[in-house]
A and B are shown apart, each in its own frame.
Chain A
Amino acid sequence: MEGFMTIVVGIFFTVAIYLMLSQYIIRILIGVAILGNAVNMLIFIAGRVTREAPPIIEAGADVLPATAANPLPQALILTAIVISFSFFAFLLVLAYRAYQTLKTDDTHQMRLAEPEDAPPPPLGY
């Protein structure tokens, strides 16, 4: 199970990196979204995939049974999902505003803050 999931995570990372290498903002953003999901699955596998029992401490016992699923990665992933989702929402709005204002989502043409023909500093008085 873990071996199979590892390959799936690898494929997710591959797709995400391929998309993020694009020069168009929208493709980069889709890559970022997939990257976030790849990381979530990575954390999930990092906690060992078990499905024997829900993580509930039985009556009279102090600790979880060894077969119980690991609850911590789920808490971590939940945090990471909330964060990456809100960031993705913000980035989408930001990219749309940038597209409206700059009339392009091609990063090669987004040179407003760093003009290509910026003059060198003065060489003398």
Chain B
Amino acid sequence: MATNSIPMEALEKSMVLAPVPAAHWLVIAPPVLCLLVGAILIMVRKRLDLQSWLAIPALALLLLIDAALLAAVTREGPITMVMGRWLPPFGIAFTVDITGALFNLAGGIAALSAGIAALGDIDRTRRAYGFFPFLFLMVGGVSGAFLTGDIFNLYVWFEVLLISSFGLLILGSEREQLDGATKYAILNLIGTTLFLIAVGILYAIFGTLNMADITAKAPTLGAAAPMMTLSLVFIAAFSMKAAAFPVNFWLPASYHTPRIVVAGLFAGLLTKVGVYALIRVMVMMLPQEGGAYSLLIGVVAVLTMLTGALGALAQADLRRMLGFMVITGIGIMLSGVSLGAQTAISGAIFYALHSMIVMLALYLMAGVAGRMGGSFSLHDLSGLYARSPLFAAISLALFFSVSGLPPFSGFWPKAMLVKAAFDFGVWWQGAAILVSGFLTTIAATRAFALGWWRMPASGTVTPMRMQASELVPLSALTLLSLVIGLYPEPLLALAQTAANGLIDPTAYLHSVFPAPLQHGAATP
């Protein structure tokens, strides 16, 4: 810092003067990489082959960065990087703890799988409309939302991912897409505007936007501020983003209309951003108010689960059935948020990670089923088992996983949440998780019986093969779900550490405000 006019003492009070360690650049790398590659892809939008050659390695690099970031956070604890070197809380801070890094890594896995699947599913016309640039901008928004430590910045990332998701949703401008996208766009924009209202009220109360600063100040305010109102606006906003009952009707209206890869990406990433934000705000930042609204969130969670499961039972279209299964999963995660204890929060985080991987895989599976069977309707779909036994095996594994049956990844988080619910005497939430799991099993296995086992009326089918762009992501995601189901300890330990870090955010606060700097102690 070679400045002549400003004395060093003044700089020390306002800026981070120590050089940023190399590992800390990982904090900002995922959104920067995504936005950079997205911009380059827009520049080469006419050269479609070059686009995929750029996109897939970039997504693989993103996955590596995400994994390295998780490793760094596991090793060092929460990492903070401030933009422009302004000392928090003045500058925008990116603070990554294990929760953020885990969500980010699952997002990276989903993005790479979707990118590979897109090579087959997204035709050249739609790639010319800009599938890959939108994909990168959306993934950039998602990872920014997971990594930021500033509540207004979180709002900005919400908008980044929202506007790119609009672009993805209407690729091709089909009639159904325009209908679904209109509802999706308006309701999601109202949802993020609600979030902005909450940020405005929060700024009026706290005078700061830094998440760590708010976390530190929240217990000292007591009854002096309208904290319950603020929390209710936050809960309403994030419930809308996460597709919780009764503000979730935009999801079944729109998720079956875009290309199947896009639908899978949305199901895997977007609603989970809402759940992540709810966990971040109601569990870490405002734990007292989160606890006070526990019953409300619990009732919403149960209604979300049950309406999702009943909705899935009532659908004849495979993709619409999956849309309702996404909603059921959201209810299960909200139940963990409502219970609030360490076991429940870790269950909710675990379930969210499982859901990001499995929901994407289920949509990709529906895409293959639609291509092989010629229809998404359970009335017409038939003979898939006879067409491709390998595909049938993958499908059955994914159906088991989403229903929460062992030995797949859906089993453990559900078991944790049910156990937590009964331990805390909230038996009705545990019962709702079990009932919704039972209904989901019926819906999923009925789809399997009709679409896969049932032979078509003609009685004969021609064997078909899965294309490489379908087989690679599908089998990788299914294997991942199986491995997590068989050997859950590492992820379980990470989820528990993540939940501990949210319930007792001392390390998070220390990462943003190292003690010596906070007191402005002079360095020799």
Contact = CB atoms under 8 A, between A and B. Distances in A.
Residue with the greatest number of chain A CB neighbours at <10 A, chosen from B203, B313, B316, B317: B203
Interface string B155-191: 0100100110010001001011111111101100110
Contact of A35 (B170, B193, B253): B193
B257 interface: yes
A121 B444 CA distance: 12
Given A95-B182, A98-B179, A102-B179, A39 B197 contact: yes
B180 A83 contact: no
A36 B192 CA distance: 10
Contact of A62 (B10, B201, B379): B10
A3 interface: no
Contacts of A90: 163, 166, 185
A83 B153 CA distance: 13
Interface string A37-48: 001001101110
Nearest to B181: A94
Q: At the interface, is chain A mostly helix, strand, loop or mixed?
A: helix
B159 A113 contact: no
A79 B199 CA distance: 13
A73 B317 CA distance: 47
Contact of B203 (A76, A98, A112): A76
Contact of B178 (A39, A42, A87, A97): A97
Interface residues of B, number: 47
B252 interface: yes
A98 B316 contact: no
A113 B253 CA distance: 6
A118 B13 CA distance: 65
B316 A102 contact: no
Contacts of B173: 97, 101
A29 interface: yes
Contacts of B254: 113
B220 to A, nearest CB: 19
Nearest to A13: B197
B136 interface: no
Contacts of B185: 90-91, 94
B246 interface: no
Interface residues of A, number: 43
B257 A87 contact: no
A76 to B, nearest CB: 6
A110 interface: yes
Nearest to A83: B159
B124 interface: no
Nearest to A20: B190
B378 A113 contact: no
Nearest to B9: A62
Contacts of B176: 112-113
Contact of A110 (B152, B179, B314, B315): B179
A32 interface: yes
A45 B205 CA distance: 12
B180 A87 contact: no
A72 B446 CA distance: 56
17 contacts: A43-B196, A43-B199, A46-B201, A46-B204, A76-B152, A76-B200, A79-B156, A94-B178, A97-B173, A101-B173, A110-B183, A113-B179, A113-B257, A119-B316, A121-B314, A121-B315, A122-B316
Interface of B: 10, 13, 152, 156, 159, 162-163, 166, 170, 173, 175-183, 185-186, 189-190, 193, 196-197, 199-201, 203-204, 252-254, 256-257, 313-317, 378-379, 446, 449-450, 454
Given A46-B200, A118-B316, 16 more contacts: A29-B186, A32-B186, A32-B189, A35-B190, A43-B203, A84-B193, A87-B189, A90-B166, A91-B185, A95-B182, A102-B175, A102-B179, A110-B182, A120-B316, A121-B315, A122-B379
